[in-house]
Structure formats: structure tokens, C-alpha cells
Amino acid sequence: MLRNNMENLNQLLTVFVQESSASLVQIVNPETRMVILSSDKKYEGKEYSGEVNFEINQPVVVKDDQMISIITPIMGFSNRIGVLIVEVK
């Protein structure tokens, strides 16, 4: 993300979903809450609709009856540049 190489990141998300039990992987801008990249393209460019604390500084795992969400900050040199959200059903 620091080098703005979104095409490689997009390929990584796609392969990750295919090779794992993840059902959805998204990278969200923590300031605007807009989905930057998603394994499901219909979410890209839209505001993230889930309830997530975008101020996190370490990985968080949220479990409910239907899904597990793994939420991890993506850090730049001195600030948070994104939030990675992985959903596993």
C-alpha cells in the first residue's frame, strides 16, 4: 500500500480467499471508512457498513454465531493507512 501497488494487493486478496476458508477480505480506509480493496468487487468504493472500531492498534478477533471477523490495522511509517478485515464463516 505504501508504494500504491494495488494490483498486486488485489491479486493477493483474491488468492487468499481461494486458498483459505475466508469468505470476504477487505481493506478499508480508516479515515473515510471507504472500502479500498475487496475480494468482492461490489464493495469497493463504498462506505464500510459493518461495525468496526477503526482506531485499533492491534489485531482484534470478533466472533458471533455465524462468522468470525479478524480486524487488523495496516500501519504506514507513522500512521494507520488501512484496516484489514477478514471474514470467515
Cβ-based neighbours of 33, under 8 Å, separated by 6 or more: 47, 48, 54
pLDDT digits (tens, 9 = 90+) for 17-33: 999 999 999 999 999 99
Going by the DSSP 8-state scheme, the letter that residue 47 receives in this structure is: B
Rounded average pLDDT over 62-68: 93
Q: Which residue has the cell 500512521?
A: 79
pLDDT digits (tens, 9 = 90+) for 72-85: 999 988 889 999 99
Domains present along the chain, CATH in parentheses: 6-88 (3.30.450.20)
pLDDT digits (tens, 9 = 90+) for 36-61: 999 999 999 999 999 899 999 999 99
pTM of the model: 0.88
